[in-house]
Chain A
Amino acid sequence: MATTDTTPAPKAAGVPERVVYRGTRPGPIELVAEGFRDIWSRRRLARYLVQADLKKKGSDTLLGNIWWVLDPLLQMVVYVVFVSILTRSSKPDYPLFIFAAILPWKWFASSVNDATGSVVSQERIIKQVHFPKIVLPLASTVSGIVNFAFGLIPLFALLLFLYRDRASPTALLIPVIALPQFVFTLAFSIFVAGLNVFYRDVGNLLRHLLRLWFYLSPALYSADQLAHLSESHPQVAHLLALNPFSIIFESYHAIIYDDVLPDWGGLAGLLLVSCVLLALAILFFKRVEPAFAKVL
């Protein structure tokens, strides 16, 4: 990677009173702290970017922001048809079951997709103005929340009008699951946004990777339907257990479809792991950030 870490050659004799730039590199903890400071000090920039993004997303279509409501519903229909054809025996109230997973997945996938190009697409301003680039993937992820929030409208409509016997107060726990998901999404987004500056293949690769990821996660099926797999291939089952979206989808299914409390321990573990991943992603991003203006 094109880092600017060449040790500075001591040229002039006297050391100046205040040096602004020197080729030294701060330590990892310092860098992560700096990343958080960047985010906090430029929260207004992030807010404007989110507003701009939301303004644009609805502006060039006939139905505008109504698509945020229609989109997950249509996707649900597609999956219901698809899965009903493939497997005879579907779960009761299957549309609701699927919808509870599609909604958070769309949030994740669209945030990651937007974040991938977030740095690259601001090439012009990156070369003209010095600002913390970490704000860019942050804004993509945050504007995904708004999309997700709009998707809750059809979800509650489904619960209140079509599946009233499935409606229960446990569905109000959605924010508790959304929090670790947000931290995980942010970590992933920051990482891919930085990587994509150096390798533009990331976007192409990610589209397929995300699709595979979705099908490998218990979104369209429940985890216990994989029970036979853990008997014959225990390694595969272990691997699937490492998938953060196993926990996320199971939790959403629990509170929305089964009306039971989620696995608190699993969610707490996910939050913890996501925080560590976020710190690592920020560290990576801050390490490569100085090279952005040169590489773009």
Chain B
Amino acid sequence: MSTARADPYAIDVRGLGVQYSLRLTRKTTMHQSFIRVLRRHEGPTHFWALRDVSFRVVHGESLAVIGPNGAGKSTLLQVLAGIIMPSEGIIDVRGQVSSLLTLGAGFDQELSGRDNILLAGAFLGIDHREMEERLEGIIEFADIGQFIDAAIKTYSAGMRARLGFSIATAVDPDVLLLDEVLGTGDQAFRAKSQVRIRELIKAAKGIVLVTHDMNWVTQFCNKAMLLERGHIVAEGDPADVVRIHQERSERARLDKAASVAALAG
């Protein structure tokens, strides 16, 4: 790593590994778990979503994490946000973290937009007085008119996304975690949200952005990291990493096409 050790940093990750147990995956019933106990010696039991991941985000840095589906990008954000505990390694995140993971995740369909703003704030751990102060600003930015007092279930997908974005960006965090939120809503709102993201990036001490949009990587980030199968494959200048990623995915596509062609005979 090129940065000197003495630089103040926002995120420091060393030897991070996240392991998933294949035994206890979603929607287990006792029946399935009995079967698993009986067959415990068969097949792989664990799966590393991330392994040997070390990096550092110093102040003023914005790191783009790219990679194919299933590379562990979202898992990395979840670990940084404290949602998932690492299985090994050390993570040090300094300052208040805000994660803009999938927007509107906690929306309660039956509640009004206004109630949902307060509820989301409470989930995020923001003091309610602060949230009530910000309420008007959030409503104004989301620009959904009198629908704000109607139940979320009556909202269009665009309105929902706008409200989610507006809530998530209402806080000014030290460390900002972004996951694919940038292509939100219509043209006008997208322009507005880009301005907001730029402001946040300017204000935050460190940013980690997960995206499939390579324009965003080169536009907003001054560092990039390529993840594949839970390992760091490349790290450094965004333009270089994007080029490596595109070459590798192109090659993977050709390999796959070749094997399909070979199978087809």
Interface residue range, chain A = 35 or more
Is B82 at the interface (CB under 8 A from chain A)?
A: yes
Is A238 at the interface (CB under 8 A from chain B)?
A: no
Within 8 A of A (CB), among B135-192: none
Query: B99 and A52: CB pair below 8 A?
Result: no
- Complex CA gap A296/B79 in Å reads 15
Chain B residues whose CB sits within 8 angstroms of the CB of A199 once the complex forms? 28-30, 33
Chain A residues whose CB sits within 8 angstroms of the CB of B115 once the complex forms? 48, 51-52, 55
Is A2 at the interface (CB under 8 A from chain B)?
A: yes
Chain B residues whose CB sits within 8 angstroms of the CB of A295 once the complex forms? 24-26, 28
Query: A48 and B92: CB pair below 8 A?
Result: no
Query: B15 and A130: CB pair below 8 A?
Result: no
The residue of chain B having its C-beta at the shortest distance from the C-beta of A120 within the complex is: B27
Query: A48 and B118: CB pair below 8 A?
Result: yes
Chain B residues whose CB sits within 8 angstroms of the CB of A198 once the complex forms? 24, 28
Within 8 A of B (CB), among A2-59: 2, 4, 6, 8-9, 11-12, 16, 18-23, 42, 44-45, 48-49, 51-52, 55-56, 59
| A8 in complex: contacting residue of B88, B122, B128, CB < 8 Å | B88
Is A228 at the interface (CB under 8 A from chain B)?
A: no
- A4-B87, A11-B14, A19-B90 known; A55-B29 Cβ under 8 A: no
| B54 in complex: contacting residue of A11, A18, A56, A129, CB < 8 Å | A11
- A11-B89, A19-B92, A200-B29 known; A59-B110 Cβ under 8 A: yes
Is B194 at the interface (CB under 8 A from chain A)?
A: no
Is B93 at the interface (CB under 8 A from chain A)?
A: yes
Q: Which of B101-109, B240-248, B249-257 contacts A (4 or more CB under 8 A)?
A: B101-109
Sorted nearest first, the 4 A-B pairs with minimum C-beta distance are A11-B15, A125-B106, A45-B122, A130-B82
A11-B89, A12-B14, A56-B111 known; 11 other A-B pairs, CB under 8 Å? A16-B92, A19-B91, A20-B92, A21-B86, A51-B115, A55-B111, A127-B105, A199-B30, A200-B28, A201-B31, A294-B21
